[in-house]
Structures are given as C-alpha cells and as structure tokens.
Structure 1
Amino acid sequence: MTTKLCFVINSLEGGGAERVISNLANHFSYKNCSVTMICLNTAQVKYQINKSVKIVNLVERKDSQNLLNRIRYAYLTFYRLLSLLKKEKPDCTICFMTSANIWAGLCCMILGLPYLVSERNTLDSTILQYNKLLQWFIFHIYRKSKAIVLPAFGMFRGFKRIKQFEKLNNFETIHNPINQFVKPNKETVNDKAFILSVGRLSREKGFDLLIDAYSHLRAPNVDLLISGEGPERENLEKQIKDLNLTGKVKLIGFKSNLQDYYAQAEVFVLSSRNEGYPNVLVEAMGMGCACVAMDCEFGPSEIIEHGINGFLVAKEDIEELSLSIDKILNNSHLRSEFSAKAKSINKTNSIELISANWEQLIMS
C-alpha cells in the first residue's frame, strides 16, 4: 500500500528550510510515496521539484496589512487546508516553520491525523516573539505532534526558555541534508579572487558585520561577494558606499548556480547573529570551501570543529572575524587542509542518512 505524505510550508520562494523540505519531498517521491507539497502562500517555486510531487498553493496574498484582508486570509488558509487534508487523509503531515506548524497542526488535530512539526530558526525570531496566549496555543499543538524536529541540538535550549515548553519531551534532532548540486561550471564567475557569503539580506545574517570585517583586510586583489536578496539591501549598499568599497563588495542577488561560486571561492564566511542550522555553511563545506563562521545560536558549533575543519569566531567579534579570514587567505596549506576535512560533511549529512532518520520518525 502506497504511503501518502503531505509536506506543509509557507512557500518555496527561497531559503534554507525551503531547500530542505524540497529535497525531502523529492526523496520520498522517488521511494514510491504519494507526496503532496502544500504551500500556504502562492509564490514562485525556486527549487527543482520532482514531477510526481503535487504542489498545491492555498492563498494568493496581496495587501496583508489590511486587518480585514488578514482575517480573510486566515479563514481561507484554515478552510482550504482543512478541506485538503480531509480529502488526502495522509499517513503523516510534515510541517516546516512556525506558521505552517500552527495551521497544519491545528487541522491535523481536528481531523485526528498524525503530524510532525519542525522549527527551523532560532526561537528568538519566532515563538519567543508571540504573546503568552499564542505560546500556550502552540504548546498544545506541538505537544500532540509525533515529534518536534529540530535541525540543531542546541535549539532544544531555546525551548527551555519558555516555562511551559519545559514539559515537552517529544524533541528529535535531525540535521539538514546536504544539497546535491550539479557539477560546477569552470567559467569564471568573478574577475578577481573572492570571499563568498550567502543568505537573505536581513539583519540576523550579519552581513553588515562581514562588510566591516572585510574593510579591515589588507587584500586589494580579493573581492567580497554576497549572494541573496532581502530588506537590508539598501542599508548594505549605503554601508559599502560609506566605506569606499564600491566595486569590491558586490551584492550579487539570488543565484541558481551557487555551486560555481562555492567551487571558486577562496573563503566562505557565515557572519550570522543567529541561525537554526545554516544550510549554506553545510553546502560550502560539502563543496570544499575553507570556512569561517560566527559561533551564533544555533548550528555552527555542531558543524565546525575549530581549527580542524574551519574557524569558529565569537558572535559579533568583527576583529577576530577579519583575522580568521586573513589567516586562510594568506595560508594556502591551511586553506587546503580545511577544504579536505570539510568535505567529510558529504557523508555525515548525506540525503540518504538524513532521510532515513526522517523515514524512521514518519513511519513509527
């Protein structure tokens, strides 16, 4: 009998959680499962999805700032999701990120269907921002789930900061699988050697810290490329101009050929103020990048062993970040050593190994 699975997320427009859920949906569809991907919001799909995976968009949001529209969107999301899950009757529903966890978890509770929830970001930017009533509501949805899946073990500590969540004992840690890129193109992506960073242009990603650190480097022939889009673009452009780094620090936007950039980068830098479990760091290491990461909550310390397969830098320590980048740029032996050891993540975070862990949870 074919196993029916539903995956639920806000959208597949781009981001680490979106990439992980896409890879999992593809993996299970290849295992002859019937897979439906439910997106709460209509948006462009930025990831390659197997043709056998059915994609359903629930609501096309326009002006969500208007109170009446917000009420209308909430009603449509709930009604359409409830109707779809009632029709599909999945053997398990796998939800990613807080809002999808809430909506899908509530619908599954009403219908008596099994479900898994998964937080992908630090709780400081999700559950801890909600009022006590909504936290109480989330607690009961999460308590009834088969498991609360976290990509980094350290995220468990975040839940313990909320008193009622201390009672939960259904946590599971499953790291993110490494993305399998196509073979890199040998065509040069930048006319100079470059440092690379990737992520949404938002404050928590700390690109302002990275630009500051770069400004202290004595590396006239090495550019800094930052791939991604987001609300901080204008502020970052102003910072680049103010530091006289125009033409050296380049905001190159969202790239579908990231493998080419990873393959050619001298150093990859993760400068985040907080993370859930940084996909881009895993991807960079898998491609053999020598990496420097800020030791933020959560994930980098579970990926990098300081001085062995990369450098860990204290959170928001711009001086140490600059020195660590400089050490790698000016020591080809160290760069090669970090590169070789980083590639072991292709085994520890393989899609086969990670998916087996998910499969065990789903089928239990």
Structure 2
Amino acid sequence: MSDMANYWCQKGWRITFATWSGPHIDDFYSIDSRAERRWLVPSSQSGSIFARFASLWNGVRRCRQMFAQIRPTAVVSFIDISNVLTLIASAGFPHRVVVSVRTNPALTGTVSLPWKVLRRLTYPRADAVVAQTSGVAGWMERKWRIDSTVIPNPLRALPNPQLAREDLILAVGRLAAVKGFDLLLQAFARIAGDHNSWRLVIIGDGPEKDRLCGLRDSLGIAGRVEIIGPVGDVENWMARAGIVVQPSRYEGFPNVVLEAMGMGAAVVAADCAWGPRELIQDGVNGRLVPVENIESLASVVAELIDQPAFRASLGLEARKVRQTFAQSAVMARWEQVVCPNMNRQHGGT
C-alpha cells in the first residue's frame, strides 16, 4: 500500500496515509514525505477484549473526523479488519470506498468469527472490492455474491539479473507453518546426497524458526542448509539462485514467486490456493507441484538441478512478468477502480 501512496504522490495526487495503529509503531516501508501521515488508534490495543474494542471504536471516531476534515475523493483500504472499520467509518460520507482482500478468505482462522460476520455485513457497502487473484474473486462471487475486480500486486523495479548462477536453492518468506518450509527441508534431504554441490538457503524470520532449525539438524543436512534472517538485498539472492522454491500451503498473493520470476530464476511453486497458477504456466516459465507433496517437490527440484538448459529456459521466459506486472500497468488498473470518473492527469484523492 505504501508503494501505491508513493506512486500517486509522484503523480501529484493529494494523499493521506492512515493506519489503524499508533505512532509508537514504526513504518516498515518508507512513505513519500508529500503524503500526510495519520494514526487512527493512538494507544496500544493490548489488554482485555473490552479495552481493545474501545480502542478500535475510538479509531472509528477519529477516522470519521479525518474524513470530515480532508474530504477525500476516494478511500482505499487493505486487509479484512481495516476494511470493516473503514466501511463503518465511511457511513454517510460521499467518498468512494474501495476495499482490497489480501488473504485467502476461504480459509478458517484468518479472522475471528465476529470479524467474519462484520465482513459479510459491510463488504456489500463498498463501491468496489479488489481481489489479488481470480481464485479469490471466484470464491467471493460464489460464497458472498460479491463481484470484485482482480488486480495483482505490481512488480517493483528490479535490477537486471546476472547470467552466472550458483548451485543454490533459495526460499524466502515468513517462517510460519503456512509457508511450508518444513516440506522443503524434507524434500531437500531426499536429494541432497545425489547433488553434493547444491545448498539450500531459507531467508526469513518467524515463529517456526527454532522448529525448522531442529528439523534441519535432525535430517542431517545442517551443513548444507542455512536459515538466515531477513536481508535487504533479497533480489541479489534471487539473481544468484539456480532455483527458487515456494512450498506454501496457501497464499494470498505469491510476491516471492513474482519477484523471483522477474529476476529470471527457475521457480518451483506449490500449486496452492491461490496465486501461483496465475503466474506460472507449468513447464513454460516455471514448475508447479501439488501442495504438501514432498516426493513431487523433491523430484521436480532434482529434475531442474539435472537439466541446466531447462532451468535457463524457464528463467528466460519467467522474466516476461516484468512487462505484465509492471507498476505502471498495475497502477493504471487501480486508478480505473479508485477514481473511474476522474481526470487522472490532475486528479487527487
């Protein structure tokens, strides 16, 4: 969302960037200095359920005050809880409201039952609902009777990939069960003995780190596998990697897959709901494997290791996502949804 705000600031739009948090939480991504920055929940949301509810309700009140002050043309919201609160706060205002679904709504556990109920009640009030994949859009149409527009994430500007690649298998993401890195470790353990020059690097941090390190050690591959924390130059790792693997159990939108393809890597991704299949044409610009199928994952990775020419052809074809998912192309689609009747040369939000 920060990329969208920064892009529109560069076009001269009037942007207010507000979050349902307090200023005590630092922004992970930089926001253009031309954007007005606001925080809607000034204090921590910890404590009892009543304290958290009071804090969020106070945030809704502050949000309505903000709308009354800045009189936006349109409001764009990301993520379920933020979407619900924004729609409630927008009641009675004339601005256009666009909410974006960033997770897989078909899965239980992504939000609690009260928020699911509020989501069903409020989403029909949005002027537009944006899904990242056609899989999510189709599910919402079937289950919620909500029409949505599919807009994928844009591919950020990337350096040109180097030609020489290492015998390196790379995986990137939050170290959480949903990302399936335990499956990758088990798959690599099956093929490591036959491919002695190859190593595996997993970049990320999260609650599963200790368990993954323990699994790596128990599989006897500690000398061939590194699990390192977040890095600032992940695209350089993608440029070096001979193969990039995404073994997720499910995804909202597989940004790692998109970026790895943009860097010309040979990508192997689990065919999970949803997203990888909308980026990868199996055998043409990458490989898809069944979800949670360790044997298939190991077999496909070994196949790519043994066929360097095939790896190179997949990576060359994968680079075409640089045009398809270029920021300018994706943002043009957002502008059609956010401000369909606005003169985009001189408009604002």
TM-score by length of 1: 0.85
Q: Percent identity?
A: 28
The 1-side partners of 2:214 and 2:227 are apart by 12
The 1-side partners of 2:304 and 2:94 are apart by 54
The 2-side partners of 1:227 and 1:65 are apart by 33
Partner residue in 1 for 2:126: 145
Q: Choose the corresponding residue for 1:155, options 122, 136, 139.
A: 136
Tell me whether 1:123 sits opposite 2:105 in the alignment: yes
Conserved in 2, the CA contact under 8 Å of 1:98 and 1:126?
A: no
Read off the aligned partner of 1:73 and give its amino acid letter.
S
Conserved in 2, the CA contact under 8 Å of 1:127 and 1:135?
A: no
Partner residue in 1 for 2:339: 363
Q: 1:109 to 1:34 in 2, by over 3 A?
A: same
Deviation for aligned residue 1:110: 4.0
Tell me whether 1:257 sits opposite 2:233 in the alignment: yes
Deviation for aligned residue 1:36: 1.7
Q: CA RMSD in A?
A: 2.4
Tell me whether 1:214 sits opposite 2:188 in the alignment: yes
The 2-side partners of 1:93 and 1:73 are apart by 21
Read off the aligned partner of 2:4 and give its amino acid letter.
L
Q: 1:63 to 1:35 in 2, by over 3 A?
A: closer
Conserved in 2, the CA contact under 8 Å of 1:24 and 1:355?
A: yes
Deviation for aligned residue 1:183: 6.3
Partner residue in 1 for 2:346: none
Partner residue in 2 for 1:229: 205
Q: Deviations over 1:175-197 (max 9, x none)?
A: 111011356799x9xxx732111
The 1-side partners of 2:15 and 2:171 are apart by 33
Q: 1:183 to 1:311 in 2, by over 3 A?
A: closer
Deviation for aligned residue 1:81: 2.1
Q: Deviations over 1:102-141 (max 9, x none)?
A: 111111124343110011111144687543x643432232
Q: Choose the corresponding residue for 2:171, options 180, 197, 200.
A: 197
Deviation for aligned residue 1:293: 0.5
Q: 1:233 to 1:195 in 2, by over 3 A?
A: same
Conserved in 1, the CA contact under 8 Å of 2:179 and 2:250?
A: yes
SS in 1 for 2:91: helix
Deviation for aligned residue 1:298: 0.3
Q: 1:293 to 1:184 in 2, by over 3 A?
A: closer
Partner residue in 2 for 1:11: none
Deviation for aligned residue 1:73: 2.4
TM-score by length of 2: 0.89
SS in 2 for 1:118: strand
Q: Aligned pairs, how many?
A: 336
Partner residue in 2 for 1:84: 66
The 2-side partners of 1:219 and 1:60 are apart by 54
Conserved in 1, the CA contact under 8 Å of 2:61 and 2:89?
A: no
Deviation for aligned residue 1:48: 3.6
Partner residue in 2 for 1:54: 36
Which structure has more relative contact order (CA 8 Å, sep 6+)? It is: 2
Q: Deviations over 1:139-196 (max 9, x none)?
A: 232111121100100112332564xx12x23x1001111011356799x9xxx73211
Q: 1:319 to 1:185 in 2, by over 3 A?
A: closer
Q: Choose the corresponding residue for 1:242, options 212, 218, 231.
A: 218
Read off the aligned partner of 2:154 and give its amino acid letter.
P
Q: Deviations over 1:59-94 (max 9, x none)?
A: 366472533432342233222222222222211111
Q: Which runs of 5+ in 1 are unaligned?
A: 1-20
Q: Which runs of 5+ in 2 are unaligned?
A: 341-349
Q: Which moved more, 1:103-112 or 1:53-62?
A: 53-62
Conserved in 1, the CA contact under 8 Å of 2:161 and 2:263?
A: no
Question: Equivalences for 1:277-288 in 2 at 5 Å?
Answer: 277-288=253-264
